[in-house]
Amino acid sequence: MELGITGKRALVLGASRGLGRAIAEGLAAEGAQVFAAARSTDKIADWSADMPNVTPMALDLTDHASISALAETLLADGGVDILVTNSGGPAPGPAATTERAAWITQFEAMAANIFDLSAQLLPGMRERGWGRIICITSSGVEQPIPNLALSNGIRSAVVGWAKTLASEVASDGVTVNVVLPGRIHTDRVDELDAAAAKRTGKPVDEVKTASAASIPMGRYGKPSEFADMVVFLASERASYVTGSRVRIDGGSIRS
């Protein structure tokens, strides 16, 4: 299938590793001009060393000045056609005791700054009559994950924002969709499994086996399997898909 995104300009956030990196690689493989953003631009430069259509961009989502600087640089050069929003995962914790300051700090990094960056990049998409915004959230927006109050709460705000935006820009040829990873095998998931092993005193292999067994497919997803769906949503072929929540979870969500 020809995806029709050769030469499209794509900005992928959180692209130094994990899901963001896999998406940036997938878009680049389809011929897009990819701007891969994160704090660790050295890591992006490493994985993209032999990919001339990938440009590392510095971005700190906790710093609004960094958002404005990135938008300014990209707009001066023609804007972007495809925006994939992504961020680091917040610290775990219960809803009952998560402090106000943590809500505010994380909301800024995972939601408000992403909304603002999108608002700055949207006018160009609307004028050109073509655009794609894809937001990485979590299965927790449909089935809240215990002890991840910040993630469940703030990502649900992203879903509400994206659905509202999708209706506003649909007639301009801009689609807005949300993707829900279940358990995709990234460095972060390895770190979470190692932390769970330490907390419970169980061997990490036992933790991983139990976690995989809870997924109907019986395994974690591969970053490339996740990226394939995002690249499709970013493509010309997905022109009639908007305002949707797409699960990429091996059947994990039980509703």
Ligand X SMILES: NC(=O)c1ccc[n+]([C@@H]2O[C@H](COP(=O)([O-])OP(=O)(O)OC[C@H]3O[C@@H](n4cnc5c(N)ncnc54)[C@H](OP(=O)(O)O)[C@@H]3O)[C@@H](O)[C@H]2O)c1
Contact residues: ligand X, CB under 6 A: 14-20, 38-40, 43, 59-62, 86-89, 109, 136, 138, 181, 183-184, 186-189
| N-terminal to C-terminal alpha carbon distance within the chain | 31
| CA dist., res. 119 & res. 161, Å (int) | 12
CA distances from 160 to 153, 155, 166, 182 (A): 11, 9, 10, 19
- Minimum CB distance to ligand X smaller for 10 or for 169: 10
- Minimum CB distance to ligand X smaller for 66 or for 173: 66
Q: Tell me the closest approach of the beta carbon of residue 29 to ligand X, in angstroms.
A: 18
Q: Tell me the closest approach of the beta carbon of residue 207 to ligand X, in angstroms.
A: 15
Q: In 3D, which of 234, 238, 37 has the Cα closest to residue 132?
A: 234
- Minimum CB distance to ligand X smaller for 19 or for 117: 19
Q: Return phi, psi of residue 71, to 5°.
A: -60, -45
- Minimum CB distance to ligand X smaller for 42 or for 168: 42
> Side chain identity at 193, as an amino acid letter?
D
Q: Tell me the closest approach of the beta carbon of residue 171 to ligand X, in angstroms.
A: 30
Task: Name the residue whose CB lies closest to ligand X.
Answer: 18
Q: Tell me the closest approach of the beta carbon of residue 127 to ligand X, in angstroms.
A: 27
Enter the DSSP assignment of 148. B
